[in-house]
Amino acid sequence: MNTTFQKITLRHPYLFALGLLVIALGVNFYLQPNLFEQRVLSGNLRIFLPLMILTAGQAIVIMGGGLDLSVGTMVSMVNAILVTWITRESTGAEIATAIAVGASAGMLAGLFNGLCVSYLRLQPIVTTYATSFIYAGVALWILPRPGGLMPSELTKFYRSNPAGIPLMIWVAALLILLWVGLRGTRYGRYMFAVGGQAEAAYATGVPVSLMRLSTYVIAGLMAAFAALALTLSTGTGDPRIGDAMTLPSIVAVVLGGTRLSGGQGGIAGSLIGVVILGTIRNIISFADVPTWWQTFVDASIIIVALAAPGLIRLIRRRQTQL
């Protein structure tokens, strides 16, 4: 048997994603030679950042054995809160309050999801699908039509490069650092245990319901931060701006080597997954793919990428049988 191969892929679930990323970036660089110039690079990274933050939260929920279909509408909701609260004349204190309110709204929404899933024991997919309507409704109630304008200092800050490194790299590094720290703690071990075998975890004294609840709260908080990044990036508000981000966040987690069944995976891979999705988009637009073909090519590449680990497993099994 391929024990070493299995061991390495299990311990470092992001390795495959890293390989894909290198290939994707290579193709992108070939088509767009100025890709690694700082201006182009940080422009790209700014676009990826909101989905990266959102995906980090989705990954936590999935590793804990759940799924959250409401994260996108949470982004819309917090975006609506931020743009109605912050105006061009807002002072620093007002802005800080608005961000705190937005973060609390995200965590409350996550708490509600978590209570339904862990204490009422409702099935995650349908529950978060149902709650996504509630958050979409709240977003529309707060901000009936697109509008609002962020102060230019804030949008400028979002485009800044502290210490010469794009802001997004700092955020991604912070997310990975937090994850590496969290993974080793009791919380991290409990989370994997709950995601892998909830009954066994319960039998050995892990507070299963509390753990599940906490993963949804984290996802809600991450959705709020994703909304903040998105609001600073666009500089304006739209009550449906985040709705389409839910499904990509799940695809990115799976591309990054985290299993949907839970109990395994990581944040680094999920973030790589987001960059892969974005790079595929880049490649398509620079490869002069005709407009009508773009969706098809994009989706086909994603399916091939999703299928690749399974195909490798299939081929290896066949080889060992021979």
What are 286-295's contacts with CB under 8 Å, separation 24+? 286/28, 286/31, 286/32, 287/31
Judged by CB under 8 A, the residue of 5, 19, 94, 121 near other proteins is: 121
- Closer CB to other proteins, residue 68 or residue 172? 68
CB atoms within 10 A of CB 305: 21
Is residue 244 a contact point for other proteins (CB under 8 A)?
Answer: no
Alpha carbon distance 122, 9 (integer Å):
33
| Of the candidate residues 2, 6, 123, 185, the single one contacting other proteins (CB under 8 A) | 123
Site membership for other proteins, residue 261 (CB under 8 A): yes
Cβ closest to other proteins, residue 99 vs residue 255:
255
- Token look-up 């024991």 returns 121
Among residues 239, 253, 57, which one has the least CA distance to residue 144?
Answer: 239
Residue 302, interface with other proteins (CB under 8 A)?
yes
2 binds other proteins (CB under 8 A): no
Q: Does 83 bind other proteins (CB under 8 A)?
A: no
Letter string b/e over residues 25-52, b meaning 16 or more CB atoms within 10 A of that residue's CB: bebbeeebeebeeeeeebebbbebbbbb
Quickly count: other Cβ atoms within 10 Å of residue 110's Cβ: 30
* Residue 23 makes contact with other proteins by CB under 8 A: no
Asked if residue 55 binds other proteins (CB under 8 A), the reply is: no
Residues that bind other proteins (rule: CB under 8 A) add up to a total of 52
Chain residues that interact with other proteins, rule: CB under 8 A: 67, 116, 120-123, 125-127, 129-141, 144, 198-199, 202, 208-209, 247, 250-251, 254, 259-261, 292-300, 302-303, 306-307, 310-311, 313-314
